[in-house]
Amino acid sequence: MNLKLIFRVAGLTLFALSTPTMLAAQDLRYGTSRVPQSCPSRSEPKTGAITARQAEKYFTCHIENGEAFDGNMGSMSFVTDLKIEVARKARRATIGDVSRAANSRSLALDMDRPVYDIRGSYNYYFCGRTTAAVEEKRNCILSNSPKSQGICFQNSFKDWFCLLTGPSKEISRTAPPQ
């Protein structure tokens, strides 16, 4: 009986010790230890205007967590140097907003809830896996989006989404952010 307990404890210990190593090894395929930001909750604020900080969080996790793209396998995206301004007043949703939301894979924009216009700038890294053909320090395309515009809105489940689009300029092939 004690031998079974010892083997169980040893097995669980080995599993626990190997898990972080496996996760780190998975991220190393892209040449970074940085993990894409996720949004465990999108429910804040429950009432009132969204803040610039909340808008930055929701935009970043939408892009970095792969929610914005179909089949984002084999690549990772990162956002850096993000600055977002939120309009002081909300407005009613338009058909254009509905179309923009549908293209973002955010479920349905709730037409009964207010929409907030946003604008901002950011750097965007689109990174492929490092392979023998793609060296680690040049596996990302870095683009700058200095004058983007978009919206923050809630879907039918009252989850917040923030989208920015605008002209971007490829800066370089580079390593991912750390």
Q: Which tokens sit at 132?
A: 């023998």
pLDDT tens track for 78-137? 899 999 999 999 999 888 888 777 766 666 788 999 999 999 999 998 888 776 556 667
Q: Identify the burial level of 154 via C-beta atoms within 10 angstroms of its C-beta, where 0-12 means exposed, 13-18 middle and 19 or more buried.
A: buried
> Average pLDDT of 65-89?
78
Q: Give the pLDDT of residue 5.
A: 39
Instruction: Provide Rg for the chain, Cα atoms.
Output: 20
pLDDT tens track for 51-63? 999 999 999 988 8
Residues 6 or more apart whose CB falls under 8 angstroms from that of 127 comprise 30, 31, 32, 75, 76, 77, 78, 139, 140, 141, 176
Give this prediction's pTM. Answer: 0.75
Percent of the chain with pLDDT over 90: 37
Q: Give the pLDDT of residue 129.
A: 73
Quote the CA–CA distance of 144 and 85 in Å, as a whole number: 17
Q: Give the pLDDT of residue 96.
A: 84
Q: Give the pLDDT of residue 128.
A: 80
For residue 168, give the 3-state DSSP assignment.
coil
Q: Contact at 8 Å (CB) between 121 and 68? A: no
Give the distance between the most distant pair of CA atoms in the chain: 68
Query: Helix, strand, coil proportions of the chain in percent (round to 5)?
Result: 30, 30, 40
Percent of the chain with pLDDT over 70: 71
The phi, psi pair for 53, rounded to 5°, reads -65, -45
For the chain, give the mean pLDDT. 77
